[in-house]
Structure 1
Amino acid sequence: MVHVLLLGTCDTKLDELLFLRTAIEEADPNVGVSLADVGRCETQHEAIKYTHSKLIESYGNGRNVDDLPRGELIKTMASFATALVRDLHQEFDGTCIDGIISAGGSGGTSLAAAVMRDALPIGFPKLIVSTVASGDTGPIVEETDITLMYSVVDVAGLNGVLRNVLSNAAAAIAGMACSYAGRRQANTTEAKIRVGITMFGVTTPGVDAIRKHLESEHNVEIYVFHATGHGGKAMERLVREGGLDAVLDLTTTEVCDLLTGGVMSAGNERLEAAAKAGIPNIVSVGATDMSNFGPKNTVPERYKSRKLYEHNPMVTLMRTSQEEAREVGRFIASQLKQHARDPAMIEVWLPKGGISMISTPEGPFADPSADEAMFNAIKNGLEESGIETRADKRDINDTSYARDIAEALMEKIRKHRSGQ
């Protein structure tokens, strides 16, 4: 039987959660639902399978949470629920879940999202009906695939609007869970080599050429990640989850935003996952000639006099300076050197003909001295590390460069698989 976990604060949302539970079962009789209570206080109801007290006893050593401030309570109950969901994902208490759903306000959404992000892999059905789903959802979803549905009215008493929304959510999670369970059981096809590639608008031609070459010449499946901050985080997460076999990190532009305060940083853990995993990992420096900001009037005052390029009305690019480029190079080298599990599986390619579409000779961001400062920082930082660097006269979007870097990755994959 397909099974869905319903997560909610039963002390404040019991009626709404019970309606959602019934709606899921009515949407598909083959879907069972277990209700887990993550509220502050114990709530008695026969429908609650994982009670407040059971969560605390099983995962919190009986800790008293009654007097915790609201923020601390949410974090604490989220940690208990995360442990429960991890168990249920692996089959626990006779149940293996195929989907998870929650409904609530900002607090409940924060709690449920933390559980879904931390306990479940990408690809597992996750849905939240939320009062804050129409606002800034980045902190809720982060780099995961949580589906959000705006509740329109507050999740505070049943009415015609909320019943319709909850019924739609019930049908959605039932369908998602059934589909997921079917795919999981039928997954008997020969596995392809899963390759992650990072891309930006100014490295798209290169990535397209790499993807077409690999797909036509080798048994691979390509996962392209848009290097907008969340894209880099998503790739790092998939590597940690074991969802990728190799990485061609062509576009490391998110490092620039991290170091300059741009809007597309992937955080200071960027470049760590593949190095730690020891999988084939070729890194290049695509789009490291730029930091990203919003519309031109949002560029910080300290950067107003810098070389700016309006990529579109919503995105303004700032050319990295020579010192910033040097810092980018040092960061890349430091991350790879510090976290390399197998240095022989890592290689860094340096395209001296241009690191983006707009930094080739005569391009608006052409700055050979800045590029050279970054290249030298990488080479110097990786000396005696066992990680090879390759300087190349071509630009990053050159089709022959794309073919050669793709084949270099395949060579590392062959060595990795043969245990060399």
Structure 2
Amino acid sequence: MKNQTGSIYVVATADTKGRELFYVRDLIAETGVKVLTVDLSTQQLSSNFPGDIPAEMVADFHPEGRDRVFCGDRGKAIDAMSLAFEIFLSRREDVAGIIGLGGSGGTALITPAMQALPIGIPKLMVSTMASGDVSGYVGASDIAMLYSVTDVAGLNRISRRVLGNAAHQIAGAVRFALPHSHDDKPAIGLTMFGVTTPCIEAVSAGLEEDFDCLVFHATGSGGRAMEKLADSHMLTGMLDLTTTEVCDFLFDGVLACGEDRFDALSRSQIPCVLSCGALDMVNFGHPAGIPEKYAARQFCHHNAQVTLMRTTVEENVRMAQWIAEKLNRCAGEVRFLIPEGGFSALDAPGQPFWSPEADQAFITTLEKHCIQTARRQIVRLPWNINDRKFAAEAVTQFRQLALRGR
């Protein structure tokens, strides 16, 4: 067994999931890994909790005290206990891993605290909600979701197998944890989409000798993950060249960022080269799910489950205004590169989304509303974003900013 410090936290509401909680605890303990149980019950029924950390102890971490948790209103109690648990967990220094067990309420209660933990700490949520859209539970973290199959409501021939697998998964992740990398190269974040892949591959190739290039898929969660690392001081710079998540956020797409996109850049002030990669498209799923108001628009059917919609002149104006407002809050070194030859592989002469008029609307509006300074500049380039000359210039610009930052 490898050297292990810290414990696996097994977390559930013991008033309804007690048997499952202790079943998982015992299986983990049998592997030789240290384990602690935490009760997150929202009723004061756990004073005699036969585990390690009773609900009252966690509830005391709520800023307004335990009475905020034990209020008698289930919805408010879950929200309050979730906050208390997040604060409690953030102050523990012995978390080697965490496994949560729950239905809809328990999953909503436990996962915010998991999200707040650093990336790399093993996190596993066994949940009845894991077979649907789990984006709200996972966020930008590395939480693994395991569908419970049967409800988390007692032990039976199915739940024993599922919970047993979960117990051994988290124990294995902790027991055989990889050592922290001692790579001396500074880490940088890059954003990529299928239609900007040639650009990012060329940029990565141009920087990988001196930087550890972390590429994030611009699917909403990708941008959030990158910015979480920036906020955690785990990135020394970014090449946020594929900002397509903004399209989906503003125009009902399925791969949307949040209102806080780019805010980590203003907070961290790390050097960043940005561009308008894939701002020519909004992402939808199957055509049947596209909002009726877009019925007359121009579409490209990427595959059976992905439909792309070309952004209009008016939408490009709105996106440029939104992005300019965000850039104006950035005090660090920022360069926004404009690929005048098109924003994606589909936005090029002869391709279905080629629209110089729409692209120019974005460029003109961004230049109008973005307040340029010595540290915040817009740079026009005469190539498509996937042209190797564009990638080479992005590399040059970033190296200049990184050198200036050092």
Correspondence for 2:104: 106
Q: Is the 8 A contact 1:2 1:177 kept in 2?
A: no
Q: Distance between the aligned counterparts of 2:131 and 2:73, measured in 1? A: 27
Q: Secondary structure of the residue that 1:48 maps to in structure 2? A: coil
CA positional deviation for 1:200: 0.9
* Counterpart-to-counterpart distance in 1, 2:372 and 2:220: 31
1:65 and 1:98 mapped to 2: Cα distance? 27
Distance 1:228 1:169 in 2: 28
Q: What SS does the corresponding residue of 1:148 show, helix, strand or coil?
A: strand
SS at match of 1:287: coil
1:296 aligns with 2:287: yes
CA drift of 1:385 comes to 4.4
| TM-score with structure 1 setting the length | 0.91
Q: Are the counterparts in 1 of residues 372 and 378 from structure 2 also a CA contact under 8 Å?
A: no
Structure 2 counterparts to residues 224-303 of structure 1, below 5 A: 224-303=215-294
* Distance in 2, Cα, partners of 1:10 & 1:382: 54
Unaligned ranges ≥5, structure 1: none
Cα distance change of structure 1 residues 240 and 64 upon mapping to structure 2, 3 Å threshold = closer
Instruction: Give the secondary-structure state (helix, strand or coil) at the position aligned to 2:87.
Output: helix
What is the CA-CA distance between 1:111 and the residue it aligns to?
0.8
Could you tell me whether the CA contact under 8 Å between 1:353 and 1:394 is conserved in 2?
Answer: yes
CA distance in 1, matches of 2:207, 2:372: 31
1:72 alignment partner, one of 51, 73, 76: 76
**Conserved in 1, the CA contact under 8 Å of 2:61 and 2:87?**
no
Distance (Å, rounded) in 2 between the aligned partners of 1:46 and 1:53: 10
Secondary structure (helix, strand or coil) at the match of 1:365 reads coil
Partners of 1:67 and 1:336 in 2: CA distance: 43
| Deviation sequence 1:280-332 (CA, Å, 0-9, x none) | 11110011011111122322222111111111121111111111111111111
User: Aligned partners of 1:300 and 1:80: how far apart in 2?
Assistant: 39
Q: Deviations over 1:197-249 (max 9, x none)?
A: 1111111111111112212xx32111111111111121122211222211101
Task: State the SS of the aligned residue for 1:358.
Answer: coil
The answer to whether structure 1 residue 357 and structure 2 residue 345 are counterparts is: yes
Aligned to 1:407: 396
Aligned pairs for 1:16-415 within 5 A: 16-26=20-30, 28-29=31-32, 31-41=33-43, 42-45=45-48, 47-59=50-62, 60-63=64-67, 65-88=69-92, 91=93, 96-117=94-115, 119-180=116-177, 183-184=179-180, 187=181, 189-215=182-208, 218-338=209-329, 340-342=330-332, 345-386=333-374, 387-415=376-404
Task: Tell me whether 1:7 sits opposite 2:11 in the alignment.
Answer: yes
The DSSP-based 3-state class of the residue aligned with 1:49 is: coil
Secondary structure (helix, strand or coil) at the match of 1:261 reads coil
Q: 1:128 to 1:384 in 2, by over 3 A?
A: closer
* Mean Cα deviation higher: 247-256 or 225-234: 225-234
**Are the aligned partners of 1:277 and 1:341 in contact in 2 as well (CA < 8 Å)?**
no
CA distance in 2, matches of 1:269, 1:61: 30
Retained in 1: the 8 A contact 2:68–2:77?
no
Task: Return closer, same or farther for 1:253/1:81 CA change in 2, 3 Å cut-off.
Answer: same
| Structure 2: distance between partners of 1:43 and 1:135 | 32
Of residues 273-282 and 131-140 in structure 1, the stretch that sits farther from structure 2 once superposed is 131-140
User: How far apart are the structure 2 equivalents of 1:47 and 1:325?
Assistant: 59
User: How many angstroms apart in 2 are the aligned matches of 1:297 and 1:55?
Assistant: 46
Task: List per-residue Cα deviations over 1:133-185 (Å, max 9, x = no partner).
Answer: 112222221222111111122221212221121111111111112233x514x
* Total equivalences in the alignment: 399
Q: 1:208 to 1:384 in 2, by over 3 A?
A: closer
For the 8 Å contact 1:37–1:50, the answer to whether it is kept is yes
SS at match of 2:126: strand
**Cα shift at 1:4:** 0.8
How big is each residue's C-alpha offset from its partner over 1:358-386, in whole Å with a ceiling of 9 and x where there is no partner?
11122211111111110111111123444
2:262 counterpart letter in structure 1: L
Q: Aligned partners of 2:276 and 2:68: how far apart in 1?
A: 51
- CA shift, 1:394, in A, is 0.8
Q: How far apart are residue 45 of structure 1 and its match? A: 4.5
Q: Match of 1:264, SS?
A: coil
Q: Percent identity?
A: 38
**RMSD of aligned residue pairs (Cα, Å):** 1.6
Aligned to 2:328, what secondary structure does the other structure show?
helix
Runs of 4+ in 1 over 6 A off after TM superposition: none
Give distance in 1, aligned partners of 2:238 and 2:249.
21
Consecutive unaligned residues of structure 2, counting only runs of 5 or more, are none
Q: Contact (CA 8 Å) 1:275, 1:281: kept in 2 or not?
A: no
Judged with a 3 Å threshold, the aligned counterparts in structure 2 of structure 1 residues 376 and 64 are, in CA distance, closer, same or farther, namely closer
Rounded Cα–Cα distance in structure 2 between residues aligned with 1:310 and 1:58: 50
